[in-house]
Amino acid sequence: LGLWRWQRAALAASEEDEDEKEEEELRQRFMAPPVSGLRELRRRRRELRSRMELLIMETQGEVCRALAALDPGAAFAVDTWERKEGGGGISCVLQDGEVFEKAGVNVSVVFGLLSEEAARQMRSRGKSLKAKDGKLPFCAMGVSSVIHPKNPHVPTMHFNYRYFEIEEADGTKQWWFGGGTDLTPTYLNEEDAVHFHKTLKEACDKHDLKLYPKYKKWCDDYFYIKHRGERRGIGGIFFDDVDSPSKEEVFQFVKSCAKAVVPCYIPIVKRHCHDSFTPEEKLWQQLRRGRYVEFNLVYDRGTKFGLLTPGSRVESILMSLPLTARWEYMHTPPETSKEAEILEVLRNPKDWVH
C-alpha cells in the first residue's frame, strides 16, 4: 500500500511538472497572458473555443516576432484590455519603426449579449436568429492584423481569422468561422503577387482544391471600393459565415490559413524593405492609403460590427488605419505610368496562379 501511494504521488508530481513545462512553453509563444487564462484554456483544451483561442494567441505571437525581427530598432507596445460586458483582448502595435510605419496585431475574445444593431447586421446577410426576450448571448474571438510599411515598394498586408457563436432562445448554438489574408501593394510586382497567392493556394489545397478559387473570388468581390470602382488591393482569400462540412474540418482549414500568414508575406518584406524610392513614389503610397481608409470606414463589416458592439475598444478597431494618408482633389496618374499599371489590376483582378 505504501509503494502504491508513493507511485501515485510520484506520478502526480511528474504530471504537475509536465503541466508547468507546457504552460511555460505556451507563455513563451504568447505576447501576453490569454484572455480566458492559461490554466482554464488547458483545462478545456478539447473544446473548440479553447483551441481557437490558443490558435489566435499563437498566431499573434508568431507574426509579432517575425515583424520585430525585420525592424529591430522598434518594439511592439503590448496593451491588454478588458471589456466590462465580458471578455477582453491584447493589442500589439509597433509605430514609426525603420521598416514599418504602423503594424498592429490584435487578439480579442468577447462575449455577452448581441446588440440590436449587430443582430440586425447579421440578419441582413441571411442569419436566422431567434432571440429570447430580445436577447442573444454570443461569443466572438479572433486575431486581426494590418501592417503598413514605410517603403512604398513593400505592400500593406491584412489578415483576420475569427470564430463566432450565438445561443438562440431554445438553447441551439449557431457557429461559424470567417477570415482571410489579402495584399495591398502601392506598385505592382508580379513576382510578389504570384508568391503571395501561391502560398495561400497551397494552404487551401490541403483541404479542398475548390476553396482557393472560391475564396479568391470572394476576396476580390468583398474588398471592392464601390464609389471608386476599384479593389482595395490585389486580393488573396476571404470567407465568412462558414459552418460546414464540420466544426473540426473548418477549424483545421482556418489553422492552415493562419499558419500561412508569415510565409506568404515576410519574404516580400525582406525583398523590398531596403529598395530606394522617390518622393513621387512616397506620395502615391499616401494616396493609396487614403483608399485603404475609405474602404475600412465605409464598407468593412468587421469595423462596423466592432463599432456597433457595446463596450468595444475603438483604439483597437481603428488600429487598421495607417499612421499617415493623403487625399488630393482629382488626382489622376498618367496613362502609361507605374501608378496607372496598379490601377488597371485593381479595376480588373487577375488570376495569379495559373
Q: What is the pLDDT of residues 244-301, one digit of tens each?
A: 999 999 999 999 999 999 999 999 999 999 999 999 999 999 999 999 999 999 999 8
> Does 115 reside within a domain?
yes
> Does 84 reside within a domain?
yes
The three cell numbers of residue 200 are 495561400
Closest CA to 91 of 68, 109, 112: 109
Q: Given a cut of 60, is residue 13 above it in pLDDT?
A: no
Mean pLDDT taken over the chain: 90
The residue ranges of DSSP E strands in the chain, in sequence order, are 77-82, 87-95, 100-113, 137-149, 156-167, 173-184, 224-225, 230-231, 235-242
Predicted local distance difference test score (pLDDT) of residue 176: 92
Average pLDDT over residues 52-77: 95
Query: Are the C-beta atoms of residues 98 and 154 closer than 8 Å to each other?
Result: no
Q: Given a cut of 70, is residue 1 above it in pLDDT?
A: no
Could you report how far apart the first and last alpha carbons of the chain are, in Å?
A: 70
One DSSP character per residue, 234-249 reads: SEEEEEEEE--S-HHH
> Does 352 reside within a domain?
no
Could you tell me the CATH number of the domain that includes residue 165?
Answer: 3.40.1500.10
Question: From residue 44, how far is each of 38, 138, 297 by CA, in Å?
Answer: 10, 19, 37
The pTM score is 0.89
Predicted local distance difference test score (pLDDT) of residue 132: 63
Predicted local distance difference test score (pLDDT) of residue 2: 65
The three cell numbers of residue 126 are 441571411
> Does 23 reside within a domain?
no
Res. 3 pLDDT band, cuts 50 70 90: low
Predicted local distance difference test score (pLDDT) of residue 124: 61
Per-residue pLDDT of 26-41, as tens digits, reads 778 899 999 999 888 8
Q: What are phi and psi of 59, to 5 degrees?
A: -65, -45
Query: Are the C-beta atoms of residues 222 and 238 closer than 8 Å to each other?
Result: yes
Q: Which residue has the cell 458592439?
A: 309
> Does 255 reside within a domain?
yes
> Does 256 reside within a domain?
yes
Catalytic site residues? 158
Rounded Cα–Cα distance for residues 198 and 204 (Å) = 10
> Does 9 reside within a domain?
no
Res. 305 pLDDT band, cuts 50 70 90: confident
What's 135's DSSP letter? B
Total domains in the chain come to 1
> Does 41 reside within a domain?
yes
Predicted local distance difference test score (pLDDT) of residue 304: 83
Q: Domain limits at 52?
A: 33-347
Q: Which residue has the cell 494590418?
A: 146
Question: From residue 73, how far is each of 32, 64, 91, 97, 98 by CA, in Å?
Answer: 21, 14, 20, 7, 7
Res. 242 pLDDT band, cuts 50 70 90: very high
Q: Given a cut of 90, is residue 90 above it in pLDDT?
A: yes
Per-residue pLDDT of 185-240, as tens digits, reads 999 999 999 999 999 999 999 999 999 999 999 999 999 999 999 999 999 999 99
Per-residue pLDDT of 332-343, as tens digits, reads 999 999 999 999
